[in-house]
Amino acid sequence: MSRVCLEAARFIEVLDACDALVAGGGVSGCAAACAAARAGARTFLLERNGCLGGVATASLMANVGNLLLAASGEIVTRGFALEVLDRAAAAGAASPHWKDRGVPGCTLDSERFKVVLIDMLQEAGVTILTHALAARPILEDGAVAGVFLEGKSGRQALRARAVVDATGEADLAWQAGAQTRRSRGTASTLFALEGVDVEAFIAFLKSRPEEFPAMHDFVRDIEVFERNWRERGIFFFPHVSGARGDWPALNRLLAESGFAPEKECPEYRETRMGMYAIKGGSVAINSNVYVVGDLDVRLLSRLELHAQRMCYRAADLLRRHMPGFERSRVAHIGVDLGVRVSRSIVGRETLGVGAVRGGAPSRCDSAIALSPVRVEAPGRKAFVEDFTFDIPFGVLVPQGCEGLLVASAKSISTQPAGLIRGMSGCMACGQAAGVGAALAAQKGIPPSAVPVRDIQRALLKQGVWLGDTARLRELGLG
């Protein structure tokens, strides 16, 4: 068999032409599309699934890590991220009581959250195409000028003045020739259980308070954990790891049942037990963890299919051995294997670990958002959480390809990759990419050439926080 075959050149029908085209409808892409449309761009969003939200919905990752509040309690990551959580709370898709440093994450009803996103994008005037795969970038004069898409109408072209890659794995940037890095990351398929008796589970935890995984995943102790549930309607149980032995109950359960999937699947790394829910909702479980060294379609398919079977096995384990789970049953399995980090771009600027973990505020001239830091210091009684850092615009600008910005914080330019991959970081980057694309379209210049001050001004108009008055003056924005 020959190792290559020729794809015949052919003319492709042009479906439409727009100002800003966003490929990928996860939280990053939704933020980008909404921001671009609000900045005046005629905007299309292409999503290969039938719903918006990506990892947050299709993969059932129902927890927006609470990285919006600074140590002072002030909300510093604002704009789309804050607005969508407020809208989610108003729609019953999230608790309104997440704005507290004691809350590790804003847990979601993933199904309702899909509709919150649809509402926001449609109100902004975004044209959403579902089951529309952005198959390849259209390259003209060495720059991205739209995408070829694949859907039920076959292959079509959508022209755009500026494109935002929100595919999560920088697929379009990579295809367009941008410099990229590959990182060995992990992936999980989540599932949701209905019929969990949360009260009985909490009673079990309280019967062994010394075993509770305190100071873990931003959960200080069992009292804070219980208060979040009772007073705020937020159920968040930390991602305890069987391999690390964070929670003796999990290790007993694994040992007694002989649960060892790594023996049958070499990429299966470990069993964890993170759990999230809102009052009255199903409980999302994050349990299987695979190592993903490559984006090879055969590897991803094998792991995804293995993981779906694993969800039932993990659910069985909980049902048989964990108080509160006796009557639970699997209600949903994530339709996508959730890949934490894999391919990312080498950008005009790179956010390094020093800026994020330096222990002191880290500022940059090209800031497009502010993010707080919470670092867990094992053995200490408090989190190290006293500073914030700026996310620079240049981390969204790929090297080696024009006409395109990358929105997804898991594939922007950071060292190590995925440094700010949480959903709040994704939405902050997405909003900036959307604004950048809209301004590029209006000015008729590539997104990389849009003056950063113009992007900052437009972001401020959209409710993004870049600092106090003194800081804005420093940036020439006061």
CB of 164 to ligand FAD, least distance (A): 11
Strands (E), 283-387: 283-292, 329-333, 338-339, 343-345, 351-352, 367-372
Q: Please, which residues have CB within 8 angstroms of residue 16's CB and are 6 or more apart in sequence? A: 44, 158, 159
Q: Is 73 helix (H, G, I), strand (E, B) or coil?
A: coil
Q: Where are the beta strands (DSSP E) in 58-183?
A: 63-65, 105-107, 127-129, 133-140, 143-151, 154-165, 180-182
DSSP state of 448: G
CB of 438 to ligand FAD, least distance (A): 18
Least distance in Å: CB of 79 to ligand FAD? 15
Angle, CA of 356, 357 and 358, to the nearest 5° = 100
Q: Residue 26's CB: how many other CB atoms inside 10 A? A: 31
**Of 19 and 47, which has the nearer Cβ to ligand FAD?**
47
Query: Looking at the chain, how many residues does it have?
Result: 478
- Between CA 140 and CA 444 the distance in angstroms is 15
The DSSP secondary-structure symbol of 373 reads -
Half-sphere CA count of 86, side-chain side, radius 13 A: 9
Q: State the residue for tokens 């719903």.
A: 51
For residue 464 the two structure tokens come to: 């993004």
Kindly state the smallest distance separating residue 97's Cβ from ligand FAD, in Å: 18
Closer by beta carbon to ligand FAD, 42 or else 48: 48
Closer residue to ligand FAD (CB): 270 or 326: 270
Closer of 229 and 475 to ligand FAD (Cβ): 229
Cα–Cα nearest to 359, from 390, 385, 377: 385
The distance of closest approach from Cβ of residue 474 to ligand FAD in the complex, given in angstroms and rounded to an integer, is 30
Phi and psi torsions of 299, nearest 5°? -65, -50
**Of residues 137 and 467, the one with the C-beta less far from ligand FAD:** 137
Q: Which amino acid, residue 103?
A: V
> To the nearest whole angstrom, how small is the minimum distance from the Cβ of residue 297 to ligand FAD?
13
The residue (of 339 and 441) whose beta carbon lies closer to ligand FAD is 339
**Which residues contact ligand FAD (rule: CB under 6 A)?**
23-29, 46-49, 54-56, 58, 61, 63-65, 105, 133-134, 166-168, 171, 188, 286, 338-340, 408, 410, 421-423, 426
Phi, psi of 453 (to 5 degrees): -65, -35
Between 161 and 410, CB nearer to ligand FAD: 410
Nearer to ligand FAD (CB atom), residue 54 or residue 475: 54
Distance in Å, CB of 167 to ligand FAD, minimum = 4
Find the shortest distance in angstroms from Cβ 234 to ligand FAD. Answer: 13
Residue among 350, 365, 458 at smallest CA distance from 398: 350
User: Shortest approach of ligand FAD to residue 473 CB, angstroms?
Assistant: 32
Q: What is the rounded CA–CA span in Å between residue 63 and residue 275?
A: 9
State which residue, 82 or 475, has the beta carbon closest to ligand FAD. Answer: 82
